[in-house]
Amino acid sequence: MSFSSEKADRSWVAQRLPSKDDQAGLLVLPGLLTYGIFMLYPIMYLIFLSFTNAGGAEDLIQGTYDFIALDNYGRLVQDSQFWTSMGVTWLFVFVSVVLKIFFSIALALVFTHDRVRGKRYMRALAIIPLGLPPVFTITVWRQLFSPARFGIVNEVYINIAGFLGQNPEPIGWFFNRWMAFFSYVVTELWLAYAFMLIIIVSALQDVSSELHDAAKVDGAGYLHRFVHVTLPAIKRPVWFASILTGAASFQQFLVPFIFNMGGPRRQNEFILLYGFREAFQSPPRMGLGAAIMVIALIFIGMFMWINVKKGRLAEGLSDQ
């Protein structure tokens, strides 16, 4: 074979190979297909169900349900339990996120301070909650808050009160709305603070020591340096972590479910637990449950979009 004919063959093969752009598209195609099958299809099916009067699983299998347009959404707007669930969910998100921010920043400052010894071991111990199954952790916390006298929280409370000369009854943590809400918040704080702690510790380690030294030369005290040097430097990581943990708090289901099923009298029934009850408990109303989930999906999407815009977290991505 001559050199010219061999070169022509190579050119013919090269023309039929996919271009670099096409190759890149082929590489991401499996990921797109997986995302479509496991994410987009369930979401589209959920939206479809929300416009039907589907009841239990038999209705879905046999197709014995009707299209009822926006009736489920109209029913929810008139349901006081829906607004109770939405209100207590957002209150839980706000209180738990604020506490997680303050608690994690305080711990992170301790774990990054020059005078603290054994910081690495303390960090390792502090992130243990991330490695424990949530169901196990929540069950343990439920026992700690047990309304019975053997519940450790009640036992500590009674012993302290006895030391002060009083003889109180055990606190019914699960039978009072705000006591139960408080126990939810404490448990959520334990479940999620470690994630925020890791991000804040990483951010604090990147804060320039030169800025602190310059502030010291200008006579700034610790609090002044923290407010005007440290906080601006870690603002974006803290905001980012707050959005993620806020979204996780909005989707909290296991804590009220395991503690007392959102009680007492469904006053602490978070929005996902409310949707679960309607979809699967007697009588099952999957169409109505789907409408609740769609509304929750819209709210959580708006929450994340507004906070990303407000925190300007997407700035600079277009330059990459």
- State pLDDT tens for residues 234-281: 999 999 999 999 999 999 999 999 999 998 999 999 999 999 999 998
Identify the band that residue 320 occupies on the pLDDT scale cut at 50, 70 and 90. very low
Domain ranges of the chain: 270-312
Taking the C-alpha atoms of residue 73 and residue 69, their distance in angstroms, rounded to an integer, is 9
pLDDT in tens, 9-47: 666 666 666 676 677 778 888 888 998 888 899 999 999
**What pTM was estimated for this model as a whole?**
0.87
**Which SS3 state, helix, strand or coil, does residue 52 take?**
strand
Sign of the C-alpha dihedral, residues 61, 67, 70, 75? negative
Task: State the Cα angle at 307 between 79 and 234, rounded to 5°.
Answer: 140
Give SS3 for 306: helix
Among 23-32, 75-84, 166-175, the range of highest mean pLDDT: 75-84
Q: How far apart are CA 211 and CA 58, in angstroms?
A: 66
Cα dihedral sign, 268-271-273-279? positive
Distance CA 70, CA 278 (A): 17
Res. 317: pLDDT tops 60:
no
